[in-house]
Structure formats: C-alpha cells, structure tokens
C-alpha cells in the first residue's frame, strides 16, 4: 500500500486521509489536530521542534509558530567547530547567527516571533582604525539595520533583549518607538570606543525595562526621556558597571537619568524596582522619582550603605527613612547590606511576604586572612565591627520582622553571619506561622533544639541551616557522617506529621530531598539473624545545587538580579 498522502490544508480533522489502512491490521484511526497540537506543546528544545517541522506538511504548519515564538541568536567572535566531526558549525553561507538573522528578514516567519534575544560577542573588524576617525564599523551599522527590519516585520514582538558586546545604535531605538514591545533589556558595552549617543524616545507599550552595565564614561544612551514618557512602565531594573564601585568613582548623577520625572512632577508608577552597583553621593531627592505607594518589590544589591562603604560617598535611598504609609503595598524586599536604616524600614512597615537578606557574599568566601571580614577604616584608622556582626542590630531586626511582618511572611532568608540564639529562633517561629521557606544561620546545638519548634510551622516546605562564614565547626560536624547516615537520620527525624510538608533541607553545604514516609526495616539485624525493627521513615536523597537552584531561598541568595 502506498504511504498516506498528507493534505496541505489544515481543514481536515486528522493527519491521515480517509480509509487509510495498515496491511493486516485494519484501518488507521484518525489523529485529531487538537491532539497533535497538545503533543507539540510539550516540545521545548529548538532542535526537537525543528525536526518535527521536517516530519510532514501538517506537522510543519503546526510546529512552525512554536519554533519561532522564542528566538535567541548567539554570536561568537571566532569560527566554531563541532567537537563530533570537526566541521564548521552551522550551514549555509555564513555563521548560524547571520543565517538566523537572514531567515527572519527574508522568510515569512517573523510574524510568529514574540521573544527575540541577541547575545554574545559581535566581532568588529578594524575597530581601532574606525575609532580614530570617529566612525562606527560598517559591520555594526549593517547589523543594526537588519535588526531594525526584523523589529518592523515582527508585529507580535513583545520581548526584546540586546546583550551583544556592541552598542545598540539609534536605528534600532527608532524602530522600537512605534513597536508594541512590553519588555526591553539592553546591555551597554564596557568599551570606550566612540559611539553616537541617542536620546531614547518613549515607548508607550513598555511595561518592563532592564538596563545593564551602565557606565557614564562609555557613551551610554540617555534614557531619561524613555523613563519620563513611558507611562505604562511598571518594572525597572538598573545595573551600573561594577567598575565605579571598585575604583570608588562617583560618576553617576541620578538627576541625569530621573531628572525629567522630577521636573515634570510625574514619578514613575513602579511596582518592581531593582538597583545594583550604584555608587554616588547621597541625595535627598533620589527617592522621589518613583511613587512609593505603588511599589510591591524592591531589590538593592551592592548599592546601599553598609559593610565596606564610606558613608560620605555611599548611596542611601532616602525613602527608607519615610513613614510607614509610604510603602503600603511592599510585599518583597531583597538586599545584601544590613544597616540601621534597613532595620528602621522593617520596623516602620508591615505586610511583607518575602524577605531575603543575603549579607555580603564576597565576605562569605574563605579567602581573607584568618577567615575574617574586611573592615571599613574609620576616621581614626581603627577597624570597627561591621553591621553584620552587631548583636544589637541583629536582635532589633529580628524583632521588627517578627512583630511587624510575622503574620504575612512566607519566605525568610537571613545572613549567615548572624548566628541566631535559641530566643531568636523561638521568636521567629512563634510569630511567623505562615513560613514556607526559611534560611538562617544557627550552630549545631541550636539546630537540634529547633526541631522542637516545627509544630509551629505547618506550611514549611524548604529550610536552610547556613554555615558560619567565620568558622567551619558546623560544616565539619556535618561532614563527619557519611551520606547514608545523614539520609537515615533525616528520614527518621522528619517522619513525624509536623514535618510532612518539608521536602528540601540544607545543613551547612549539604542539600537533601525528603520523600514520603515508608515502612522500612532498620539496617541492624537481631541476634537471631532476623531483620531489624520496622519503622516509618522518609526516603531521603542527597542532592547537588542544581536540584534547588529554582527554589526561592536558594535562587535569591546571590548577587544576580
């Protein structure tokens, strides 16, 4: 029998023509198109989607929109060879990056694109010669011209990400002005090669903006008009270049970026604000560019005053000192600096659901003399203790968390430098009954006593008992036992009903996953050779960091934004 013919149009209810049969097995059952679509919806890898497109005509039509929904073009600064057969990667007349861009321009697929990312290293030839003449290399001009064409052809584009090492030129910005994108990510290059500076126009449809590696000395574009004119903007992430903090160069002037908002008396109506690597002189007006009453999530990384910062040149958001009614909607707060200002903010607000205090991650590495933290030199040359080592600040902050946010708090991560006492732990557990994820620093004895408080946390899903950055005692005790002993003891200790929701647990640097309780025999045998006593224990497995990378108290414990 001839193979079935696949009809070109999609009006049929199946991919098989009527009366198709298999010899000896009878007629083929039709496969409805909605079932085919459901199967294809589970495909995620681009290679699998591409192979499905080449299966038959119907699969091609149904899979093509999903294949081009999320497009990432990665550029490399050198030719890459396949490790399997040694041939040049890609096919056609150019690199995979160029041929992918060519397909979006020439083929009728750009209408499917909703997310478009340009990442990697774009190689610019004769860059030094062009820079001497004040010219932009022709290859970069042609790149941005083609990107502009793709943007204009992609009517359904909603998310654009530019993370190439070359600057996005005015040609692309002008194309975005009339687009319908809702999310935009732009990474500025760290080189100081001459580039035209664009006053970026507003994008009315823009909802989320991420601006990365901002360095005023590297020809960054002026986004003040974009911020002031994009009235639908709700999420703002600004990451400055770490160079300025490393060399203590306060070259950032916040009025340059947010001055138009303040001059027009139209603060941004943000719900999410993220700031990283900001180093500038303190300003009483820096917190007036956004409406504090609408903010629901704040992230401040390597920016606010704290450990290692000089007070006269450290950024301190004056909104932290405002009254509690200025933050009525705040639900999530994340930062790496612990200070008295932060404690006052927690004491003057209420209703937080997520609080991540990750401390100073640079200091948690065992790479400083005698495992001590770097101190900020005072005016008389002495080295005062840091805020992270202040027991008074620790106790005041924990009390503010318990009293003001305990009834709503679901996620809580405290700095590992804080070695909590039994009273600290009891205060948190008794006042935070809705906790689902908890990370705190505690010694081994405190951890053992903490087990008695688990009935007060019926919703606990993941818990981390963090290692002490100043000492390896807790970590050494955990490593004294082998993995099998850990799994057996944790399985028995968590088999009670009050531990039923616990699935993930970290002890020092060891991560374990707990399953459902099962009736198991003890490993020890009786004197007569009979198996040991049967008891209910949970099956426990040791896991690596990849298993918990997407769980909040692990994912948020980093300097990434």
Q: Write the pLDDT tens digit of every residue in 2-38.
A: 433 333 344 444 455 555 565 666 666 667 888 888 9
Are 257 and 227 spatial neighbours (Cβ–Cβ below 8 Å)? yes
Across 396-407, average pLDDT: 95
Are 418 and 394 spatial neighbours (Cβ–Cβ below 8 Å)? yes
The token duo for 531 is 């198996």
Instruction: Decide if pLDDT at 321 tops 60.
Output: no
All domains of the chain, ordered by start, with CATH?
1-67 (no CATH), 338-368+387-561 (3.80.10)
Instruction: Decide if pLDDT at 447 tops 90.
Output: no
Stretch among 206-220, 349-363, 417-431 having the lowest mean pLDDT? 349-363
Between residues 450 and 331, which one has the greater pLDDT? 331
List all residues 6 or more positions away from 197 whose beta carbon is below 8 Å from its beta carbon: 219, 220, 221, 222
Instruction: Please tell me the predicted confidence (pLDDT) of residue 238.
Output: 95
Which residue do the tokens 């606010």 mark? 304
* Confidence band for 524, pLDDT divided at 50, 70 and 90: low
CB atoms within 10 A of CB 366: 8
pTM, to two decimals: 0.84
| Count helices and strands in the chain by DSSP H and E runs | 17, 18
What is the C-alpha separation between 551 and 439, in angstroms, rounded? 12
Residues in the chain: 561
Question: In whole numbers, what is the pLDDT of the chain averaged over residues?
Answer: 82
Instruction: Decide if pLDDT at 510 tops 70.
Output: yes
Between residues 308 and 450, which one has the greater pLDDT? 450
Instruction: Decide if pLDDT at 365 tops 50.
Output: no
Instruction: Please tell me the predicted confidence (pLDDT) of residue 12.
Output: 43
The number of angstroms, rounded, from the C-alpha of 321 to the middle of its chain's C-alpha atoms is 28
Instruction: Decide if pLDDT at 243 tops 60.
Output: yes
Instruction: Decide if pLDDT at 361 tops 70.
Output: no
Are 33 and 78 spatial neighbours (Cβ–Cβ below 8 Å)? no
The secondary structure of 537-554 as a DSSP string is EEEEEEE-GGGGTTSHHH
Instruction: Please tell me the predicted confidence (pLDDT) of residue 207.
Output: 98
Q: Write the pLDDT tens digit of every residue in 61-101.
A: 899 999 999 999 999 988 888 888 888 877 667 888 999 99
Instruction: Please tell me the predicted confidence (pLDDT) of residue 323.
Output: 45
Across 431-450, average pLDDT: 85
Stretch among 187-191, 237-241, 493-497 having the lowest mean pLDDT? 493-497
Instruction: Please tell me the predicted confidence (pLDDT) of residue 91.
Output: 65
């Amino acid at each position: 029998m001839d193979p079935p013919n696949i009809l070109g149009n999609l009006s049929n209810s199946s991919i098989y023509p009527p009366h198709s049969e298999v010899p000896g097995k009878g007629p083929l059952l039709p496969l409805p198109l909605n079932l085919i679509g459901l199967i294809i919806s589970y495909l995620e890898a681009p290679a699998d989607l591409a192979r499905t497109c080449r299966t038959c005509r119907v699969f091609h039509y149904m899979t093509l929109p999903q294949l081009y929904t999320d497009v990432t073009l990665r550029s490399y600064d050198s030719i890459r060879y396949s490790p399997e057969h040694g041939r040049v990667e890609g096919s056609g007349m150019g690199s995979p990056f160029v041929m992918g861009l060519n397909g979006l321009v020439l083929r009728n697929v750009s209408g499917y694109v909703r997310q478009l990312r340009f990442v990697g290293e774009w190689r610019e030839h004769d860059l030094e010669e062009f820079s001497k003449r004040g010219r932009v290399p022709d290859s970069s001009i042609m790149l941005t011209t083609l990107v502009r064409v793709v943007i204009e052809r992609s009517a359904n584009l909603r998310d654009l990400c530019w993370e190439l090492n070359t600057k996005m030129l005015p040609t692309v910005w002008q194309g975005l002005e009339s687009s319908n994108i809702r999310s935009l990510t732009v990474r500025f290059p760290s080189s100081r090669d001459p580039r035209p500076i664009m006053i970026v126009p507003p994008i009315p449809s823009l909802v989320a903006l991420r601006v990365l590696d901002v360095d005023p000395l590297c020809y960054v574009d002026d986004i003040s008009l974009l911020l002031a004119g994009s009235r639908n903007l709700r999420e703002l992430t600004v990451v400055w270049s770490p160079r300025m903090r490393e060399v203590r160069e306060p070259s950032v002037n916040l009025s340059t970026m947010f001055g138009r908002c303040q001059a027009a008396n139209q603060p941004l109506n943000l719900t999410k604000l993220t700031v990283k690597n900001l180093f500038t002189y303190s300003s009483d007006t820096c917190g007036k560019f956004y409406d504090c009453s609408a903010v629901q999530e704040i992230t401040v990384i390597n920016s606010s005053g704290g450990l290692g910062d000089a007070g006269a040149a450290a950024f301190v958001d004056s909104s932290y000192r405002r009254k509690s009614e200025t933050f009525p909607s705040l639900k999530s707060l994340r930062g790496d600096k612990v200070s008295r200002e932060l404690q006052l903010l927690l004491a003057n607000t209420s209703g937080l659901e997520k609080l991540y205090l990750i401390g100073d991650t640079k200091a948690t590495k065992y790479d400083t003399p005698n495992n001590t933290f770097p101190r900020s030199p005072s005016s008389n040359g002495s080295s005062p203790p840091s805020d992270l080592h202040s027991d008074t600040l620790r106790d005041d902050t924990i009390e503010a968390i318990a009293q003001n946010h305990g009834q709503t708090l679901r996620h809580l991560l405290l700095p590992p430098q804080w070695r909590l006492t039994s009273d600290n732990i009891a205060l948190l557990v008794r006042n935070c009954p809705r906790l689902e994820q908890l990370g705190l620093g505690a010694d081994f004895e405190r951890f053992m006593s903490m087990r008695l408080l688990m009935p007060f946390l019926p919703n606990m899903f993941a818990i981390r008992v963090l290692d002490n950055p100043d000492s390896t005692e807790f970590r050494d005790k955990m490593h004294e036992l082998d993995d099998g002993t850990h799994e057996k003891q944790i399985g028995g200790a968590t088999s009670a009903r009050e531990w039923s929701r616990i699935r993930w647990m970290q002890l020092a640097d060891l991560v374990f996953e707990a399953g459902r309780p099962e009736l198991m025999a003890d490993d020890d045998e009786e004197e007569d050779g009979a198996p040991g006593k049967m008891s209910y224990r949970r099956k426990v497995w040791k896991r690596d960091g990849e298993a918990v990378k997407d769980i909040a108290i692990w994912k948020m414990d980093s300097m990434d934004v």
